[in-house]
Structure formats: structure tokens, C-alpha cells
Amino acid sequence: MRKYGVIGLGQVGATVAYTLVQRGTVDELVLIDQNEALATAQKLDLDDASARLSSTTKIILNDYAALADAEVLIIATGNIKAIDMASSKGRFGEYDSNQAIVRDIAPKIVASGFKGILIDIMNPCDVMTDYLQRMTGFPRERVFGTGTFLDTARMQKYVGQALKTNGKNVAGYVYGEHGNSQFVAWSTVSVNGQPISAYPDLDLNQLEEDARQGAFAVMAGKHYTNFAIATCGVRLAEAVSADAQLACPVSAFDPEFGTYVGMPAVVGKNGIESLIHLELTEKERAALQRSANFIKSKVDELPQPEPID
């Protein structure tokens, strides 16, 4: 029996839940949200869809204890209205509200006896992933975030459009923070097997900025993002269940930087199976260090867990 949990049932969490149910990925799904009316409504809507699906998913509502035997737990809670597109704060608009949420849910997750893999979507993603790990005390490989998985997809899309090819033909990675200090490691990028340097007419600075601002382009029209980030969360969860050994960029803990940061890693049944350390240029290496330093500084500002005697 395959069992997942989702905490937070707003636009992103609900889309994650719907995708899991529609795809028949799980046999049981634990849905948790502090807004009981919303949680009940999401469950009812998913139950109504069940009769028209080829699979059946048992939905368990607002029961942390039911997470004890869950394989994957996806954290999608937050306050999207706090994100300020017009300021440099960006995703850090959720910094105050989401750190409080982490302090609230972390002890409940631990008390549930959950022993699976925790995947974080909350913003600011790298900071909150690090904070979730610190507050739960779970092994670092069992906790990771979506990080630059989505930003890399946006980069692939924009490069593909610029070259009139499918973005799936674009390989490479966006590194660093899922936020303003992210960057495209162009030394890793290729198109149809050709290095990006084979396309000298591309405006790499503009393509990088397009990828960085991709979320805000969506939010300008509908005031939230949900389809793409939910797809990323589900893909990573399924990679855990299948032990897919999926090489992809996520927010993972790198001992060299002492924090979580977006970089390529291998995702399998144990969570982060290994980090992928590619040979970056000196400029890229410096950008990654700056981004990691920024993330760590924001985590270190947060109230820390009590030391265990």
C-alpha cells in the first residue's frame, strides 16, 4: 500500500492532492490543514471525483497520527498573499508566517512517528527546508525541497522557445536559492547535445532573468502559482516511491555550505541519495557560495530548536 501526506491545502497543496488522486499514485492520502472547513471541502471534492477515476484513493483528514506509516510527506502550506511581487522581498514575504508554521507543525510531525521522506514546497523554500530539518531533527537526506527544480524547468522553457525547440531538449541546471540569488550555471547547459556556447546569438542574461521572474509572470495574472510547482512536488515524491535515482536539481543539504541550497542531486527511496558536484566555472562557484551564504544567514536568524541532553 502506498501512502502519502500533504500538509497545507491551498492552491498548491490542493493541486498536489488532486494530481496524486487523478494519477492513482497513492492508495491512501492524509490531508491536513488548520482550516477545517477548507480541508473538508477539498476532501469532498476529491471524493466526488473518485467515481469517475480508474483508481480509488482513501482520503484521511486532519489526522497527524495517520502519518506514522506514510512514505512521503509534502509540505505545501503558506500564505501566498504575503508574497510581494513589487518589492525585493519576493518570496521572503512569507518568511515570518511560514517560520511560525514550521514551529507549529514540526513537533506534530515528529510525534506522529513519521519515518518517511519529507519534501518541502513552502517559501522561501531553501530556508524553510533547512528550518524543517532542524526543527524535526530528521536526517538531512530525508528532508529536501523542490528548490530550483521548477526554476530549471523555466530555464529550459525559455531557452527552448528562443531556439524554437522543445524545452525538454535543453539540459542543465539552475543553482542556488529558489529566489532572487538563483543563477543559471550556463556551463552545464546544452541543447540537443550541443553546449549553449554553440548558440552565440542568445541573450543569456535575459534568459536567466526570465527564469528568475517566471513565477511573478504567472502571479501577475492569477495571483498564485500551482500547476508547475505541484507537478514538481509530485514528480519528486514519485521518484522516492519508485527509487528512481532521479538526477535533478532540488534544495539539498550540502555540508560544504552548511545549509540547503539548490543543486543537482540524486533522488531515490532514501530521499537524497547523493549530491552531484559538477565542475562549475569560478564565477558560478562564487555565485553559489553567495547564494548559500544568504540562505544560511536567514536560517540562522530563526529561533533554533532546544538542544537535546
Which residues participate in catalysis according to the annotation? 178
Integer Cα distance of 273 and 261 in angstroms? 16
**180 contacts 287 by C-beta, under 8 angstroms:** no
Integer Cα distance of 125 and 92 in angstroms? 9
Residues whose CB is less than 8 angstroms from the CB of residue 67 and which lie 6 or more positions away in sequence, other chains included: 5, 30, 73, 109, 112, 113, 114
**251 contacts 272 by C-beta, under 8 angstroms:** no
Three-state DSSP state, 281: coil
Three-state DSSP state, 69: helix
Closest C-alpha to 79, from 62, 61, 101: 101
